[in-house]
A and B are shown apart, each in its own frame.
Chain A
Amino acid sequence: MNVFLRAEGIQKRFGATLALKEGSINIATGRVHALLGENGAGKSTMMKVLAGHHRPDAGTVVVDSRAVGSFARWDTKTAMRMGIVAVYQELSLAPHLSVAENLFLGVEDRYFSQHNLIRPRSRVSAAKQILQSLDLEEIPVEVPVGDLSLALQQMVEVAKALARKPKLLLLDEATSSLPDEYVRKLFAVVDHLKKSHVAVVFISHRLDEIDQIADEATVFRDGINVGHADAPFDRGQLIKLMAGHEVDREINHVLAPAGQGEPIVRVSGLVLKESRPAIDVEICPGEIIGVAGLEGHGQQEFLLSLFGAHRPLAGRMTMKGRIVPRPTPWSMIARGVVLIPQSRKIEALHLDLSIRENIALMGIRGLSRWGVVNSRREIRQVKSYADRLAVRMNRLDDLANSLSGGNQQKLVFAKVLMTQPNVLLMIDPMRGVDVATKAALFEEIREMANAGRAIVIYSSDTSELVGVATRVLVFYEHHIVRTLSSPNITNGALVDAAFHAKGGDSAADVPLVTQ
């Protein structure tokens, strides 16, 4: 086996937190290397160090059997020159520049420039060539990247990395926003790279993907390399390594009781897109309703509509028999309907406000009289919810920013639970959450359902719904094409239902342009 990169004793500190204590990894050419670990284990930091995005505080890196002497000049450009290229979760694209311009940003000189000047026409043809080689002809090269759907932007991101002709490609949760068919295309690319002796490092929380594609795996915990395994993997062992203790693998085995009694929310005639059939749904107490489907087929809009954060073309919502006139998040929260939105950073949390302010924000109206906040009651309540969800923190006055990703998600749960909602809507609540936290949060959800609350959960990872949901609404083209109820909810059935409506149509049906 040919080692391309060897890193040892990598240390990286951010302020008070030591993100990497002793990161080490051996990366071989022509192999797919999975980097595993819970949130905050340091795997993303490790990757960013290797890609030159962070300068390590200590450690050694050997690339192509040449040691990197000093890290003083270690940056993205240097790493790129050595053939190390990374694709991050957050996109690095410039939304107002065209696809072609983005693909070659920073490497124009390798492709089409003469005397260091840009020739727009050869840029376009070079871009087309690259996309074609990745089986992505459907992406228009002269359109601003920002007009493409999130999934396609992610693919452009991958193409952009390949335009840099990497010898080592680092993929950080590159599949988390991709629908299945693009995951397949990405894996085909990875296979191809393997054959041409490119090393690939792959971070993902989806163990199925790891099984499918990785040749070997390194596990990080608390900033330290705690173990290594070769394919085929023993899942139990990997999870044990990640968590540091035994975790129940089948986290979702106890079903909540199916909903009973009068529906809390009734939606009728909901139209999300022109000339699509209307949606009629009843949400009953104690129910856990799953929402599934291919990305961008109206699931998010459906949940946002229930929360008053999206205005559908038509439709009526009644709660406890009364019509809700013009729903807004403000009025829906007062009615006991809350939402956990998709993006933690932008939509769910105030990272530069304190933990206390974050948790209290949604229920602040209930903690005040004449507009004045009762601080003592506020602190008591915030504390009790933080404890209930086992948020790991120092002080309530610390910034939300100081918490790890999983703990931040717990904060989001504490915030919505503090309003004591009757209906809890969730969009991808487990995205980027580690296994242990996931189990705890699902437990919380199940408890809520047992207490007679209604829950609607959309997950882009359909397997999360299996064993949790009592009923699953499958979306296609902005309407419901199938409703599955337990015990018929299986991964296979869900995927089948999501694709079924497509009939003979091929991949070209996936929306290219977002609104």
Chain B
Amino acid sequence: MNLVNRVMEWSQRGSNREVSIAYVAAAVLFLAGSAFIRGFFGWGHVLAIVSTAGFVGIVGIGQTFTLITGGIDLSVAYMLNFGALLVTGISLGSSHHLAPALMVVAVVAAVAGLVNGVGITILKIPPLIMTLSMNSILEGVALLYSNGTPTGAAPPLLTALATGTGPLSLPWMVWFWAVVSAFVLILFRKTVFGRWTYASGSAPRASWLSGVPVERVVILVYIISALAAALAGLLLAGYSGQAYFGMGDTYQLESVAVAVIGGTSILGGRGSYLGTVAGALILTTLTSLLQVLNVGASMESMLYGVVIIVMMMLNRERQA
């Protein structure tokens, strides 16, 4: 009873409300699907949803924290795509070459993130423009790199990570996402860097005058975002066995959607990765529902728009 009370109290406090709502919404959505569709309910399906949610959830790391710093990262689509192209192109389907491929992807992502961050902080280019432009630049670079036709294949190790089953008969993806989430939560909740991230987004000048190295913090957040997007690209390449153009396109909207659905404020300073995880679960459950109902890609696209707006309105109501 004590635990229940504490959870109840926690969920009433500040931005935890939105996070709680998001988890409840995810559960309701899943149960609604189970009630109306035969075969929707089941442990296997839950695991499938969670491991699929991992992809957008990992892209959402960057989106959550760039949003919290008062920015946005719209370059995740082609960062993801370029990461996937690089890993398949360099490793050529061999796990032996995975390590150098990972190094190259990490360096490329860090550089792209650094350029984003420097452009936004030092050159004062609005985040929207900087990252939207970076997306276009990365698309061009990716096209030049592969000359329009992707080559190679994903190393088996990545495929195993993205599709295989690990201990306790949970998918490796679920384990991996859990570990990454724990790391992210600690990084942004318990560390000085995390405090600085929230402070920088909430009031940059006040933060700077309080001794927060705002520019370095923001640059680091964009580097983290690019790394997360590239990581999702690796996993996605592992999932589909290869890389192709346009594989990241939907993640641009979806990563913003999962963050916003999870209660992250677009105005900066408020939000948490716990909410984004819930957002990823909601979106993936919804997608899975729509696929079972076979409504088609156009309907899905329309519904995504509606869901984002409805969730924003719900969160707005709660805040007011």
Chain A residues engaging chain B, CB cutoff 8 angstroms: 307, 309, 329-330, 332-334, 339, 341, 346-354, 357, 360-362, 364-365, 368, 371-373, 375, 397, 399, 415
Contact = CB atoms under 8 A, between A and B. Distances in A.
A329 B202 contact: no
A348 B209 contact: yes
Among all A-B residue pairs, the 10 with the closest Cβ atoms: A333-B211, A350-B202, A362-B210, A350-B203, A330-B211, A361-B210, A371-B191, A352-B269, A368-B192, A371-B192
Contact of A371 (B14, B193, B206, B213): B193
Interface residues of B, number: 23
30 contacts: A307-B209, A329-B210, A329-B211, A330-B211, A330-B212, A330-B213, A333-B210, A339-B209, A346-B203, A348-B209, A350-B203, A352-B202, A352-B270, A353-B269, A357-B195, A361-B195, A361-B199, A361-B212, A364-B196, A365-B211, A368-B191, A371-B191, A371-B192, A372-B190, A372-B191, A373-B192, A373-B195, A375-B190, A397-B13, A415-B210
Contacts of B198: 353, 357
Interface in B163-219: 190-193, 195-196, 198-199, 202-203, 205-213
A350 B269 contact: yes
A139 to B, nearest CB: 28
Interface of B: 13-14, 190-193, 195-196, 198-199, 202-203, 205-213, 269-270
B67 to A, nearest CB: 14
A352 B269 CA distance: 7
Contacts of A375: 190
A348 B210 CA distance: 8
B191 A347 contact: no
B235 to A, nearest CB: 28
Counting chain A CB atoms within 10 Å of each CB, the highest count among B14, B193, B198, B210 belongs to: B210
Nearest to B206: A347
Counting chain B CB atoms within 10 Å of each CB, the highest count among A307, A348, A349, A364 belongs to: A364
B250 to A, nearest CB: 31
A339 B211 CA distance: 10
Given A330-B213, A371-B192, A350 B206 contact: yes
Contacts of B13: 397
Contacts of A372: 190-192
B206 A362 contact: no
Given A332-B211, A347-B206, 6 more contacts: A339-B209, A348-B209, A349-B206, A351-B202, A368-B191, A373-B195
A372 B191 CA distance: 4
Contacts of A361: 195, 199, 207, 210, 212
Contacts of B212: 330, 361
Contacts of A364: 192, 195-196
A365 B156 CA distance: 44
Nearest to A340: B209
B244 to A, nearest CB: 40
Given A350-B269, A353-B202, A362 B191 contact: no
A347 B213 CA distance: 15
A348 B209 CA distance: 7
Contacts of A349: 203, 206
A346 B199 contact: no
A373 B188 CA distance: 11
Contact of B206 (A307, A348, A373): A348
Nearest to B268: A352
A375 B192 CA distance: 11
B190 A373 contact: yes
A357 B199 CA distance: 8
B157 to A, nearest CB: 31
Nearest to A354: B14
Given A333-B211, A362-B211, A373 B202 contact: no
Contacts of B269: 350, 352-353
A353 B204 CA distance: 13
Contacts of A309: 208-209
Counting chain A CB atoms within 10 Å of each CB, the highest count among B202, B207, B269 belongs to: B202
Nearest to B203: A350
A194 B150 CA distance: 80
B14 A397 contact: yes
A9 B295 CA distance: 58
Contacts of A330: 211-213
Contacts of A347: 205-206, 209
Contacts of B193: 371
A322 to B, nearest CB: 19
